[in-house]
Amino acid sequence: MIEANSDLGLYLLRFAVAVIFIAYAFPKLAYTTEHAKKIKLRTFTVVFLGIAEILAAVGLILGLFVQASAAVLAIAAAGTLLHKYDKVDIGLEGPELGWQFDVLLLIATVTILMTGGGNYLTTY
């Protein structure tokens, strides 16, 4: 019973992380130029990140290449943290800056990567 619950819990974690990344990726693709200026990145980089995040998120939902998908999203989350700290000059002090959510996404994606995402998979 516990193992079945663990698998369901890991799938729910995968699903939630995927939905969040999809929600953050669509504006990158819909408003590429504006988004690139806002976060101080090149347009190509923003498009590449948006596509990579959507493909990896779909992989998590469908159970396709779960660990590879989680690795891509973990790199994206880590990159976001580093970028916010270095380029956007927000630092990591203060509760209003939103870096805590990025840390949570990083931990969630690393958890999926380390556990394999549970047994609700299409591929191994």
- Per-domain boundaries in the chain: 2-115
Express as a percent the part of the chain with pLDDT over 90.
Answer: 56
- Token pair for residue 68? 């590879």
CA 74/CA 53 separation, integer angstroms? 10
pLDDT digits (tens, 9 = 90+) for 41-53: 899 999 999 999 9
Average confidence score pLDDT of the chain: 87
Residue 90: pLDDT band with limits 50, 70, 90 = low
Helix (H, G, I), strand (E, B) or coil at 47: helix
Nearest 5°: the CA angle 114, 98, 106 is 10
pLDDT of residue 64: 92
pLDDT of residue 82: 84
Residue 40: pLDDT band with limits 50, 70, 90 = confident
- Token pair for residue 113? 């990567």
CA 65/CA 56 separation, integer angstroms? 9
- Token pair for residue 121? 């998979």
CA 1 vs CA 5, 13, 17, 63, 82: distances in Å? 6, 18, 24, 21, 40
